[in-house]
């Protein structure tokens, strides 16, 4: 049996087990299983490897997309550029186990948002600074858009705080992506603090949150005539890209190979 799974914490509301179970059934993939592996601390990762010798690939979700990096032996070019890993490919040989970190979040996001972008889109606001936000920034760089980071607090990688987002800034940035958990089930009434009255039909609001759909963030955008999209399509895209990587199939970001990590890798 080939075993795949997801690490993170908590994992109760993950869509991945159902998605892959349906994929295995639909495509007649035998001898494969997908399971959840909730880790309260990233330091538990080596124990997981020791107790699950059938593992062939893992997805990584919050809060470990950045913390997992010291535990893999190599990074794909995209994962290295983004600074976050959401997919791990396992390679077993007589010399041992090699773990390769990849990022398919950017692939799923880019594929899903590209056909939805306003024709005049040049600038985007990315709400949040975590691993998913980093993948979104990278995707925009590949799509030819300038992206600017928004956070509650100022910092070296923050372009605007929420308090600095004037109506003029919002009007000038016609794509806005929520990469925060605001509005996610069960706290469904939350939403990013934006001057929503500055939105209009030329805007696209994209929410990585997919439960509920729509979120309050998207509803507020629709009320101003903006186009909206949830992150469910991104999730499907990143999952399919992960499956291709696990099975050694060609992937745009993988063609250049993976860069080895330093010798202190704990994988």
CATH number at residue 47: 3.40.50.10860
Let me know whether 67 and 35 are in one domain.
yes
Q: Which of 23, 65, 146, 220 is catalytic?
A: 65
User: Domain with 124 in it: what CATH number?
Assistant: 3.40.50.720
> Looking at the structure, do residues 194 and 249 belong to the same domain, yes or no?
no
Q: Does the pLDDT at position 172 exceed 70?
A: yes
What is the pLDDT confidence band of residue 261, given thresholds at 50, 70 and 90? low
Pair (85, 133) in one structural domain: no
pLDDT in tens, 82-139: 999 999 999 999 999 999 999 999 999 999 999 999 998 999 999 999 889 999 999 9
Say yes or no to pLDDT of 156 above 70: yes
CA gap 56, 149 in Å, rounded: 35
- Does 176 lie in the same domain as 96? no
- Specify if 130 maps to a domain: yes
In a domain, 180, yes or no: yes
- Domain limits at 193? 106-234
CA–CA separation, 191 and 222 (whole Å)? 14
Quote the number of domains for the chain.
Answer: 2
Say if residues 64 and 39 touch (Cβ distance below 8 Å): yes
Q: Catalytic annotation on 65?
A: yes
pTM higher than 0.75, yes or no? yes
pLDDT in tens, 146-155: 999 999 999 9
Q: Is the residue at 187 inside a domain?
A: yes
Can you say whether residue 128 is alpha, beta or left, with left for phi > 0 and alpha for psi between -120 and 50 degrees?
A: left
User: Residue 79 has what pLDDT?
Assistant: 97
Do 230 and 241 reside in the same domain of the chain?
A: no
Q: What is the pLDDT of residues 197-250, one digit of tens each?
A: 999 999 999 999 998 999 999 999 999 999 999 999 999 999 999 999 999 985
- Asked if residue 61 and residue 43 are part of one domain, the reply reads yes
Higher confidence at residue 129 or residue 266? Answer: 129
- Whether 35 and 140 map to the same domain: the answer is no
Domain-located, residue 135: yes
With a cut of 80, say whether residue 252 has pLDDT above it: no
């Amino acid at each position: 049996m080939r075993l795949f799974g997801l690490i993170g914490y908590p994992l109760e509301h993950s869509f991945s087990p159902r998605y892959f179970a349906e994929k295995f059934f639909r495509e007649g993939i035998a001898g494969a299983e997908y399971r959840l592996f909730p880790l309260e601390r990233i330091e538990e990762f080596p124990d997981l490897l020791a107790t699950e010798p059938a593992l062939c690939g893992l997805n990584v979700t919050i809060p470990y997309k950045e913390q997992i990096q010291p535990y893999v032996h190599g990074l794909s070019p995209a994962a290295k550029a983004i600074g976050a890993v959401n997919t791990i490919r396992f390679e077993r040989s007589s010399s041992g186990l090699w773990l390769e970190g990849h990022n398919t979040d950017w692939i799923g996001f880019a594929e899903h948002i590209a056909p939805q972008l306003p024709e005049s889109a040049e600038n985007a606001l990315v709400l949040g600074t975590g691993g998913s936000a980093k993948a979104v920034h990278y995707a925009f760089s590949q799509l030819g858009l300038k992206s600017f980071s928004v956070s509650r607090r100022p910092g070296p990688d923050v372009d605007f705080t929420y308090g600095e987002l004037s109506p003029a800034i919002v009007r000038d940035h016609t794509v806005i992506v929520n990469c925060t958990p605001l509005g996610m089930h069960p706290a469904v009434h939350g939403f990013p603090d934006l001057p929503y009255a500055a939105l209009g039909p030329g805007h696209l609001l994209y929410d990585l949150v997919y439960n509920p759909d729509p979120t309050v963030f998207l509803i507020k955008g629709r009320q101003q005539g903006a186009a909206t999209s949830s992150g469910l399509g991104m999730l499907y895209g990143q999952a399919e890209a992960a499956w291709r990587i696990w099975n050694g199939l060609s992937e745009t970001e993988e063609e250049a190979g993976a860069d080895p990590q330093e010798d202190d890798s704990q994988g």
